[in-house]
Structure 1
Amino acid sequence: MTNKRTPTVPKLIQIIHIAKNQLDLDEATYRHMLTEQTGKSSTKQMTKSELVTVFEHLKTKGFATKPAKSVGKLKQADDPQSKKIRSLWITLYELGAVRNSSELALAKYVERQTGKSALQFVNTTDASRIIESLKQWQQRVENAQAIAAINNK
């Protein structure tokens, strides 16, 4: 962990459970991840170093112990392109392609796409590129679901 002092075992277990909820992991996925990381399916069975391993893994999957300051303190962008981006993001969440529909998760996606930390900092060209990317993603998900529906008949 990056802190000089590692939290106690009970605190690590608590943080891991918070991460499970924040990342919206279902029970089977959560247990599988624990087993992959440590060979144990319960945090209560783990040593402190194994708990740290799980915690570090959850951070690589997007868990943030503290919300990003730039997203929490900025007024949400409300221009038409930002509204469209948010709408597409929510649609992808409803389709099951996005696990976390929060503004923070969207900001992380925007940052991966543009290098800018939030929608407020994205120019028109970048916003258009994000919109097209999300629309193509949505189309791929809908096509895959349609194919799956046909194959299940």
Structure 2
Amino acid sequence: MPTPAQIKKIHALQGALKLDDDTYRATLSGYGVKTSTRLSIAKADELIADLEDKAVAAGVWEKRTNVKRRLGDDPQTSKIQGLWASLHKAGKVESNNAKALSAYVKRMSGKDALKWCSTYEKGRIIEALKAWLER
């Protein structure tokens, strides 16, 4: 099932392209579904990319990248990565790779990736890493 943000974007693209209901349903049938809520997350991403390409080509949509949401641009994320590297140097964690950090983030916040953590959750992770480093 697609995320609410994906559904919102699909419908925004549908409106920008001025797709009537029949055309929209025909597009969805190409993905093997009748409604956008029946798509998988991966298929929703494919549909969004397809609709975006069509909308950009038609001149009714502008692709934008959300720079603040990229993983390395957030100061808290940078701090967490730095603390994780310090823990590795101190020999307190075995691996300094992103997979190991993601596993730790999952245990601490329940989120699959650091980019989905709130500011509060990142703050908790930072404090936990600092306490771990001091031990």
TM-score grouping bracket, smaller chain normalisation: 0.3 to 0.5
TM-score (norm 1): 0.42
Larger radius of gyration: 2
TM-score (norm 2): 0.47
